[in-house]
């Protein structure tokens, strides 16, 4: 099975594009990037405890969207979101956890 391009996965999974009131731009097929200001806005919301922003920031780190790929950061943000009961974050953590 061929893996679809990242931007199609993002749209399909519903992580990005974000809701209308979010400032982070959806990555495009051409750039696959959001601006530094967009990421900073998302980070501020995540640091204030917004579970959805934590999930989205984890997704950005996992996939290297406008930030360097960093699985440790991804896990950290997913865990913060999962600790608040976010089912999607729990699912992402399960995907990143090695099978014993």
Task: Name the residue ranges covered by the structural domains of the chain.
Answer: 34-100
Residue 97 pLDDT greater than 80, yes or no: no
pTM of the complete model: 0.67
Dihedral sign (CA 89, 97, 74, 33): negative
Structure tokens at 29: 């097929």
CATH superfamily for 34-100 is Tetratricopeptide repeat domain (1.25.40.10)
- Measured at the CA of 1, the angle between CA 73 and CA 79, to 5 degrees, comes to 20
CA proximity to 89, closest of 61, 63, 56? 56
Residue 12 has a pLDDT of: 36
Helix (H) or strand (E) segment spanning residue 37: helix 36-47
- Tell me what pLDDT residue 4 has: 40
Q: What is the CA radius of gyration of the chain?
A: 13
Q: Which CA distances in Å does 39 have to 13, 24, 33, 96? A: 19, 6, 10, 22
pLDDT tens digits for 29-84?
Answer: 344 567 888 999 999 999 999 999 999 999 999 999 999 999 999 999 999 999 99
């Amino acid at each position: 099975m061929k893996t679809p391009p990242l931007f199609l996965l993002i749209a399909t999974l519903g992580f990005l594009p974000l809701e209308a009131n979010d400032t982070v731009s959806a990555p495009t097929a051409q750039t696959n990037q959001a601006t530094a200001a967009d990421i900073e806005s998302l980070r501020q919301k995540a640091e204030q405890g917004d579970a959805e922003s934590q999930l989205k920031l984890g997704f950005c780190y996992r996939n290297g969207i406008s930030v360097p790929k960093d699985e440790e950061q991804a896990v950290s943000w997913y865990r913060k979101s999962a600790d608040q009961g976010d089912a999607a974050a729990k699912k992402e953590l399960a995907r990143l956890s090695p099978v014993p």
